C-alpha cells in the first residue's frame, strides 16, 4: 500500500514489478506478476536459460524432463507457497524490531 500514483496508472493494484512492451505499430502491452514477467522475458530473449521440456521425439503430457518440471515448480513455489511465510516473517521481524526500538 505504498505504491506511488504513477504505478497505479500502469497496474490497477499499484504493484511492482511491471513491464511494458511495445512492438512497432502495435499498442503497448503491460505485464504484471514477477513469474509472468520472467517467463515472458525468457520466451523472447533467453530461451537458452530454460531447461529443455522434452527429449526429442518423446513429447506429451507425462514426458516432461525432471529439470524442466523442477524449474516450473520453483517459479510457482516462490510466489505461491513460500511468499505468505516470508511476508509473515517480515511482519513479525518488523514488529520485533520496532518493539525493541521503542524500548
Ligand atoms: N505477486 C506479485 C507481488 C508484487 C508485489 O507485491 N510487489 C510489491 C513490492 S515487492 C508492491 O508492489 N507493493 C506495493 C503495494 O502493495 O502497494 C509479483 O510477483 O509481482
* Tens digit of each residue's pLDDT (9 = 90 or more) over 37-79: 999 999 999 989 999 999 999 999 999 999 999 999 999 999 8
Atom of ligand 1 nearest to the CA of 35: 19
Q: Tell me, using a 6 A CB cutoff, whether residue 2 lines ligand 1.
A: yes
pTM equals 0.81
Q: Among 32, 30, 31, 27, which Cα is nearest to 15's? A: 32
Q: Tell me, using a 6 A CB cutoff, whether residue 1 lines ligand 1.
A: yes
Q: How far apart are CA 87 and CA 102, in angstroms?
A: 22
Residue 86 has pLDDT above 90, yes or no: yes
Q: Tell me, using a 6 A CB cutoff, whether residue 14 lines ligand 1.
A: yes
Amino acid at each position: 500500500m505504498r505504491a506511488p500514483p504513477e504505478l497505479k496508472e500502469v497496474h490497477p493494484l499499484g504493484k511492482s514489478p511491471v513491464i511494458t512492451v511495445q512492438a512497432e505499430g502495435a499498442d503497448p502491452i503491460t505485464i504484471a506478476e514477477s513469474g509472468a514477467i520472467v517467463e515472458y522475458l525468457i520466451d523472447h530473449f533467453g530461451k537458452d536459460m530454460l531447461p529443455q521440456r522434452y527429449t526429442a521425439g518423446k513429447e506429451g503430457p507425462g514426458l516432461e524432463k525432471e529439470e524442466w518440471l523442477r524449474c516450473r515448480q520453483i517459479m510457482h513455489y516462490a510466489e505461491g507457497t513460500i511468499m505468505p511465510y516470508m511476508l509473515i516473517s517480515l511482519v513479525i521481524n518488523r514488529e520485533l524490531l520496532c518493539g525493541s526500538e521503542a524500548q
